[in-house]
Amino acid sequence: MFTLPVYNSEGKEVDTIKLNADVFDGSQNLDCLHQAILGFLANQRKGLASTKTRGEVSGGGRKPWKQKGTGRARVGSTRSPLWRHGGVVFGPHPRDFSYEVPQKIKALALKTSLNVKLNENNFMILDEFKVVAPKTKQAVGVFSNIKLFSPKEKKAKKVLFLTHKLDAQLKIALKNISFLTVDLASDCHAYEVMNNQKLLITKAGLADLTERLKT
């Protein structure tokens, strides 16, 4: 069983918490993680790439020259794929790339991604994210206090922040932070966990996530 410290917004350790062994057991199912991430990325694809066949390109209705007697190859249309401005033979057309990934695989992939962050020591628990006013500077100050951000670093580490609920004031304070991804613990998925280097979660968010994944 893993035990992690709990920090407040000032960066001080205020408590410890034992993680649920059914969810945070250190195990990793990389096959399920791979399937879930590929499914998520496939579902994000728009599939709008499109080309025109010779029948869809405008023009080309008149035969360029007569069939015989010119010494040149016979041609029926100037929109042949062999000609400039002609149609495309096997070009892409709009299509749907999405497919359904089973819920059990999604859940196991999310569990795996959380254990990956836990094993990497990139998992941090926050008592509560508090800002006095909806100011980005105050929100960045919290990340600086818990050592997830330093203005001296040339490139900030990508952070995923999961919370139980997101009120209007906190949403405004967090929305302009470039290194941050914000989501509800009840809605997060394996891709966004793996796409960020650090994971920060509130105690209430951790309870939601544990309830969602425990067997």
Task: Quote the pTM value.
Answer: 0.85
131 & 187 share domain: yes
Tell me the C-alpha distance between 112 and 36, whole Å. Answer: 11
What does the DSSP assignment read for the chain? --EEEEE-TTS-EEEEEEPPTTT-SS---HHHHHHHHHHHHHHH---------TTTSS---S-SS-SSSSSSPP-S-TTSTTSTT---SS---------PPPHHHHHHHHHHHHHHHHHTT-EEEES----SSS-HHHHHHHHHHTTS--TT-SSPPPEEEEES---HHHHHHHTT-TTEEEEETTT--HHHHHTSSEEEEEHHHHHHHHHHH--
Residue 87 in any domain: the answer is yes
pLDDT at 190: 96
* Same domain, residue pair 149 and 200: yes
Locate 103 and state its tokens: 């819920």
Does 74 share its domain with 134? no
Instruction: Tell me, yes or no, whether 72 lies in a domain.
Output: yes
Q: Let me know whether 114 and 205 are in one domain.
A: yes
The verdict on 147 and 190 lying in the same domain is yes
Q: Looking at the structure, tell me whether residues 87 and 111 fall in a common domain.
A: no
Domain limits for position 84? 46-96
Residues 68 and 81 in one domain: yes
CA-closest candidate to residue 207, choices 106, 132, 128: 128
110 and 147 part of one domain: yes
Residues 22 and 109 in one domain: yes
> For position 154, what pLDDT does the model report?
79
- CATH number for the domain harbouring residue 114: 3.40.1370.10
| Residue 36 belongs to a domain | no
**What pLDDT is recorded for position 35?**
97
Residue 84 lies in a domain: yes
Answer yes or no: is 192 within a domain. yes
Total domains in the fold of the chain: 2
| Residues 80 and 176 occupy one common structural domain | no
Q: Say yes or no: 57 and 144 in one domain.
A: no
Q: Residues 57, 77: one domain?
A: yes
**pLDDT tens for each residue of the chain, 215 residues long:** 789 999 999 989 999 999 999 999 888 999 999 999 999 999 999 999 999 999 999 999 999 999 999 999 999 999 999 999 999 999 999 999 999 999 999 999 999 999 999 999 999 999 999 888 899 999 999 999 999 998 888 788 999 999 999 888 999 999 999 999 999 999 999 999 999 999 999 999 999 999 999 86
pLDDT of residue 215: 63
Integer Cα distance of 206 and 19 in angstroms: 9
